[in-house]
Amino acid sequence: MVQRNIKSEIDSKLHDPILRSNLERFSEQYPIARAKAYANVDSIEDLRDDLRDMKRYSVAHIEKLADEFQASLEKRGAKVFRAKDGDELKEQLMAICRENNVHNIVKSKSMATEEIRLNDYLEEKGLHVKETDLGEWMLSVAGQHPSHMVMPAIHLNRKQCAKFFSDELKEDIPSDIPFMVQTARKVMRKEFLKADMGISGANFGIAENGAIGLVTNEGNARIVTTLPPVHVIIIGYEKLIPKVSDASKIMRLLPRNGTGQRMVSYLTLVDGPTPIIHEKNGKLIEENKKVYAILLDNGRLKAAHDPVMKEVYQCVRCASCLNVCPIWSTVGGNVYGHIYSGGIGAILTGLLNGMDEFAQFSDLCIGCRRCTTVCPGKINIPDLIQELRNRRVAQKGLSTPEKIIFRRIMTNRKIFHSLLRAASLGQKPVKSGKFIRNLPLFFAKMTEGRSLPAIADKPFRDRAEELFKKNPTNPKMRVAFFSGCNLDFVFPETGESVVKVLQDIGAEVVYPQKQNCCGKPVVGAGDLDTARKLAKQNIKAMEETNADYIVAACPTCAETLKQTYKELFASDPVWLKRAEAMSKKVVEFTVFVEKAYAKENRLKDVQGMKKITYHDSCHMKRSLGIYKEPRELLNSAAGYKFVEMHGADQCCGMAGSFGMKYADLSKQLLNRKIDNIKQSGADTVAVACPACMMQIGGGLDKNAPEIKVKHIADILAENLK
């Protein structure tokens, strides 16, 4: 395996203006096209559920389906092989070529053959192989790889395409798109007519009758499966479905999600040998063509029996997870694995091409979860990536600096916090280098285009006692405040606002001094042992308070306390019980306050002078499902008028250590966010997440200092006396 320099690859993509503008345009248009395609469907959710359930059934019965598919095809006169990996498949295919005296091959879209680099192999063996999908043909001529599963050449412009045409055809082809398409038609038609084998993939394979479905707009799959006298189907196990009627469950979603079409031009269904009329011994005869199918394993069966990873079988390769991914839409698909790109691509690369390849770019998923809102098979893509990262760490261990920071420093709260205090004095050891980016974010140095706030002189924990003197004398409830590192050490004033707002609704607030980092950065890095240590510290600290509620004003901490701890202790009944008991008490700040305000009839529609907009944090909106409550609170905030911004729920680019490791890429996402904030006309942007506050605040400071970023707690506190 080649050791890649992902950072420099990303850098070159960030400086590719053609790629950038193509992707930018596409990511603006895609959600609109998708919505339009679904406009005549009663419920997208019902369709997604149907597809997920059908695919879940399929993976649970994969061996049975494979046997049935094979028997169905054999009964109809096709030959079926099974290949455990690429090498075996290549040998089987070469035998078929020899048996049928094959020289010229035409192919239509097959990701599986890209995965095993079949074309290179066939060419080495002296065969003439042509991809027939226009995009893939251009890329094969250019020696490039597809950057998207559905739109392979989206990173190119017409001039680059014309050059590939000219090079291949050895004549000057102008960069006129209809002319190029007509030229491709002519060139490819010759290939079709002389081909003696057609190789196709399959979008699905139906066990009950052995039919395969092929989805194309160009129609190349229809010609590949019609003209040549031999047809070889190369199909991965994950494409098998039980019945003919199950195909509609794929087809009602795949084109709409993939290309924003209600249906593709050609959905071709081929089942067993079909007639062909061709010349034999000088005269035309009609006979059945020869059909072979090769079922490719290459890691798929192992995944099918993996309790977590079997979820990838729910993928129908529509690539919509890429289309909405903030990283893909900034740098394109070529920075991922050699064939499968984006979030799902990371998982498929890990399972099918190997964990070493996966590990090189696995941190390009920022966990914003936008993909989970569109995936037709409802795959929890970021969770599967996290699971693979965890396994990698369990197998290979952490890097040395991570090991020191996580295991020696963070689990020892006193050392950890004294280091943080030291940072506020600007001491050297935490200032630069690898050491820093693995620590929680606020250790980072200033970066270009974004200023990061300094560590506060006096952390929240040192201010708490004084604040609690103002606790109500007859409290309605007892609330333990879980600050998280950011509100403790970077934004202690926001911590003060939280307390003020809680006291105002009648809460006695307490601050357990023994609370530590919630552990999310450690979980993200895959160090679950350390995460469990932190979880135990926090559960103990919270239990000791005997509070009615535990409130966090950071969605990441709230999610970790409420959800992740239970997962961490899934096989530890004693701690699971304690985690569950605590989880019931954990409430996110805006949800807690909105409920109280609603009870006290304090929610109303206020039209103040200052315009305010709201940025949805990824964890807040898509992990916790909270987006109404913050808006309700802002709508009622005295002195403000609430306005929505475009792309309110798009990631700001912070996303844990990502913002540090890939600072330039993160800055691109931030710039998009800042532009949207500016265009909303707001004077203030409200957030409910301290990490977003840090990122957006830094961006505004450099680019639009007239606009302020405030945590909702600060806005609510302003209006309290």
Binding site for another protein (CB under 8 A): 22, 25-26, 40-41, 76, 132-135, 138, 151-154, 156-158, 161, 177-178, 180-182, 184-185, 188-189, 193, 209-211, 213, 217-220, 222-223, 225-226, 243-248, 251-252, 259, 261-272, 274-278, 284, 286
Count the Cβ atoms, other than its own, within 10 Å of residue 606. 15
* Residue 289: DSSP 8-state: P
Least Å distance, CB 564 to another protein, is 39
Strand-pair partners of 438: none
Q: At what angle do helices 62-75 and 44-60 cross, to 10 degrees?
A: 80
CA atoms within 13 Å, Cβ hemisphere of 158 = 9
Nearest alpha carbon to residue 343 among 330, 323, 24: 323
CA atoms within 13 Å, Cβ hemisphere of 565 = 30
Least Å distance, CB 157 to another protein, is 6
H or E element in which residue 50 lies: helix 44-60
Backbone angles phi, psi at 447, to 5 degrees: -120, 160
Of 34 and 641, CB closest to another protein: 34
**Sign of the alpha-carbon torsion through 358, 360, 361, 365:** positive
CA atoms within 13 Å, Cβ hemisphere of 709 = 28
**How far is Cα 578 from Cα 366, in angstroms, rounded to an integer?**
30
Of 172 and 706, CB closest to another protein: 172
**How far is Cα 463 from Cα 132, in angstroms, rounded to an integer?**
68
Of 197 and 587, CB closest to another protein: 197
Backbone angles phi, psi at 212, to 5 degrees: -115, 155
- List all residues 6 or more positions away from 391 whose beta carbon is below 8 Å from its beta carbon: 355, 526
SS (H, E, C) 659-671: HHHCHHHHHHHHH
For Cα atoms 198, 199, 204, give the angle at the middle one, nearest 5 degrees.
125
**How far is Cα 249 from Cα 315, in angstroms, rounded to an integer?**
12
Least Å distance, CB 190 to another protein, is 9
What is the Rg, in whole angstroms, of the alpha carbon atoms belonging to the chain?
29
For residue 214, the SS3 value is: strand
**How far is Cα 490 from Cα 178, in angstroms, rounded to an integer?**
57
Least Å distance, CB 392 to another protein, is 36
Of 152 and 453, CB closest to another protein: 152
Least Å distance, CB 407 to another protein, is 49
Least Å distance, CB 21 to another protein, is 10
**How far is Cα 165 from Cα 175, in angstroms, rounded to an integer?**
9
Of 247 and 352, CB closest to another protein: 247
Of 109 and 536, CB closest to another protein: 109
**How far is Cα 686 from Cα 644, in angstroms, rounded to an integer?**
11
* Residue 550: DSSP 8-state: E
Least Å distance, CB 567 to another protein, is 37
**How far is Cα 391 from Cα 389, in angstroms, rounded to an integer?**
5
Of 25 and 64, CB closest to another protein: 25
Give every strand in the sheet of 610-614, ordered side by side: 640-642, 610-614, 684-687, 708-711
Of 12 and 248, CB closest to another protein: 248
Of 42 and 706, CB closest to another protein: 42
Of 243 and 595, CB closest to another protein: 243
Least Å distance, CB 173 to another protein, is 12
Least Å distance, CB 210 to another protein, is 8
Of 69 and 443, CB closest to another protein: 69
Of 244 and 606, CB closest to another protein: 244
Least Å distance, CB 164 to another protein, is 10
Least Å distance, CB 205 to another protein, is 14
Least Å distance, CB 277 to another protein, is 4
